Amino acid sequence: MTAKRLYWTVVLSTSAILAVTMGIRHSLGLFVSPLNTGTGLGIVTVSFALAVGQFVWGAAQPVFGALADRAGSLKTITLGAVLLALGMAVTPFVDSGIGLILFLGVLSSAGAGAGSFSVLMAAAAQRLPPERRAFASGFINAGGSVGQTVFAPASQALITGIGWIGAMWALAAAALATIPLALPLRDAKSGGGTLAGGMSLSQQTVIAFKDRSYWCLHAGFFTCGFHIAFLATHLPGEVELCGLPASVSAMSLAIIGFANIAGSLGTGWLAQIYRMKMLLVLVYGIRAAAIAIYLLSPKSALTFYVFAAVLGMSWLATVPPTAGLVGKLFGVRYLATLFGLTLLSHQIGAFFGAWLGGIAFVRSGDFGWMWYADIALSTVAALVNLPIREARIERAGAMA
C-alpha cells in the first residue's frame, strides 16, 4: 500500500468510526421523552442515566486507551462496538432505573468511548508519519461533527417513522458497522516517534504526571469540557430567557456543529505550521472574547447565530492540538492512554459545566455568573498553555 493510500485509508476509517459513535451519543437526547413515556421511569431517572453516561464516556477513554495500547486498536474498537450495540438493543426492555443506568448510562457510553478520540487518534498517529498527524487529527475530529449532523435528524426521522424502540435498534445496528470500518487498523505497526527503551505503560504514565506540561494540558481541557457542556446544556435556556423562539436554539446548535467541522480541519492544518500550544492559547482566548462580546451585544437571533458560528469554530478545535502535544511530548506508543486521561479531565469539567449551570439558574434566575466564570476559566486556560514545553516548528516542513 502506498503512503498516500495508507494515509487516507487510516484517516477515513477512523473519522467514519468517530462519526458513528459520536453521532449515536449526541442523538440520545432525542430519546428522553420517548423513554419517559415508554418506561414510566420519569424524566429525572432518564436524565440521571444520561448524566452517568457523560461521566462514563470520559472515564472509559483512558481504560480503553490502555487496552488499545496493549491489545491493539481493532480488538478495542470491536469490543466497544459490541458494548454500544448491546446497551442500545437492551435498553427498550428495561423496567427499572438501575437497568437504564446499566445499559444506557454505562454499557452504551463505555462502548462509545472505546470508539472515540483517544483510541482513534492514537491509532492514526501510530500509523502515520509525524508531519501528517496534526491534519489527520483534525480530519478525524471533524468526523464527529459530521456524525452529529447526520445522526440527529436521521434518529428523529426513525423515531417518527418506526417508533423509538425500532430507532434504538437501528442505532445498535449502526454501532456494529464500526467493526468492518476498523479493519484497516488491524496491524499494530507504529508510525514512529515512540519512546525508546521498552518503557512500560505504567512507567510512561508516571513520567507524564511528573511533567508540568502534561498538567497544563489537563487544566486547559478541563476548562474546554466545562465550556462545551455548559453551552450544550443551557444555551436553549439562555435563548428562552432572551424571549426568542426555540427555533433560534435549534439553528444555533446546528451552526455550532457545522462551524466545528471547519474549526477542526483548520486547527489540524495550522498545527503543521505553528506551535500547537499557541493554537490552544488562541482558541481559548477567542472563547473568552466571544462570550464577553456576546454579553455586551443586543440579544437578537442574529447575535446568537454569529455567537454560535464563532463558538463552533473553537468548539472542539482544542482536540487536535491537545492530542498532538501529548504525542510530541511523550511519543505515540501510549498516546491512547495518555490522551484518554486528558479526556477524562475534559469530562469532569463537562460535569461541572452542566451541573453548575443548573444551580446558577435556580439560585439567580439567569446564567450571568456562569458566563463570567466561563470567561475567567477560558482566560486561565489560554494562559496555562503558555508554559508548555514545545519546540518551535522547523519551517522546512517537519514537525518539531
**Stronger pLDDT, 349 or 394, i.e. the higher one:** 349
Grid cell digits, residue 369: 455568573
Cβ contact 376:300 at 8 Å = no
Q: How far apart are CA 108 and CA 86, in angstroms?
A: 7
Residue with cell 488562541: 282
What is the per-residue DSSP string for 24-50? HHTTGGGGHHHHHHHH---HHHHHHHH
**pLDDT score, position 297:** 95
Write down the CATH superfamily of domain 3-185. Answer: MFS general substrate transporter like domains (1.20.1250.20)
Would you tell me which CATH number, out of the four given (3.40.50.10440, 1.20.1250.20, 3.40.50.10170, 1.10.760.10), belongs to the domain 201-384? 1.20.1250.20
Same fold, 3-185 and 201-384: yes
Instruction: Give the CA diameter of the chain.
Output: 63
Q: Tell which residue, 87, 142, 66, has the closest CA to residue 343.
A: 66
pLDDT (tens digit, 9 = 90+) per residue, 289-315?
999 999 999 999 999 999 999 998 988
Q: What is the mean pLDDT of residues 12-31?
A: 87
User: pTM, whole model, 2 decimals?
Assistant: 0.77
Cβ contact 357:230 at 8 Å = yes
Sorted by sequence, the CB contacts under 8 Å of residue 7 that are 6+ apart come out as: 128, 132, 136
**Stronger pLDDT, 283 or 25, i.e. the higher one:** 283
Residue with cell 473568552: 288
Domain parsing of the chain, residue ranges = 3-185, 201-384
Q: Tell which residue, 130, 191, 9, has the closest CA to residue 394.
A: 130
Q: Tell which residue, 106, 100, 90, has the closest CA to residue 43.
A: 100
Cβ contact 24:151 at 8 Å = yes
**pLDDT score, position 179:** 95
